[in-house]
Amino acid sequence: MNDPQHKLTIAIDGYSSCGKSTFAIEVAKKMKYLYIDSGAMYRAVTFYCLQNNLIKNGKLNEDRLIHSLKNIHISFQYNPKKEANEIFLNGINRSEEIRSVEVSNYVSQVSKIKKVREKMVELQRELGKNKQIVMDGRDIGTVVFPDADLKIFMTADPAIRAERRYKELVEKGKKVDYNEIEKNIRERDFIDENREFSPLRKAPDAIVLDNSHMSVKEQMKWIMDLINQKLK
């Protein structure tokens, strides 16, 4: 599939904990494309805020964050053992730390800030300038790559998403509360849909994938049928 004649930009948007990353990673592997997790970038910024006391008593200091953006450097490196891109914040691998519940609790506050999104979009566009890329997030098909060759909008029942997230964290040995996770998911949905700058929206030409009751294998067959149609 990694044919120079077949350079696609594949944008995958949707709600939190829909399995966007798992889905996008599998698509990228199948196509031998570069995968970029845009959500991880916002999580990395959030992790920076927590580490540098920019969040106190549940409140984010937006002015300090905007002033600190020049000190936040994000990059991706491919790990051949894991067959995955890992995210580095200021030169340190933070792929695991950014997945904490604490980061999840604040990432929507961070990602709604216009200056933060502008910086991340600039970096995302630079990463995808040569096409042959799969990127997932909230505004990839509407803002980052509005001319993407294929746009997917993923959704699933919030309770099912919470259950998936709960199992994922428990399997990693985390002590978590299901009700807290579901509450967090519903709150993130509301913030993502209602933020002033670049809210979560389905692009008019995006194809909806409701994976509430679909396996990864079923989702892959669905997307590969669409990709093959594009490549004809």
Show me where the domains of the chain are located: 9-231
C-alpha 61/C-alpha 189 separation (Å) is 22
> What is the band of 83 on the pLDDT scale with cuts at 50, 70, 90?
confident
Tens-place pLDDT, residues 27-73: 999 998 989 888 899 999 999 999 999 999 999 999 999 999 999 99
d(CA 137, CA 21): 9
CATH of domain 9-231: 3.40.50.300
Measured at the CA of 9, the angle between CA 18 and CA 198, to 5 degrees, comes to: 60
Global confidence as pTM: 0.79
Q: How far apart are CA 192 and CA 155, in angstroms?
A: 13
Q: DSSP code of 19?
A: S
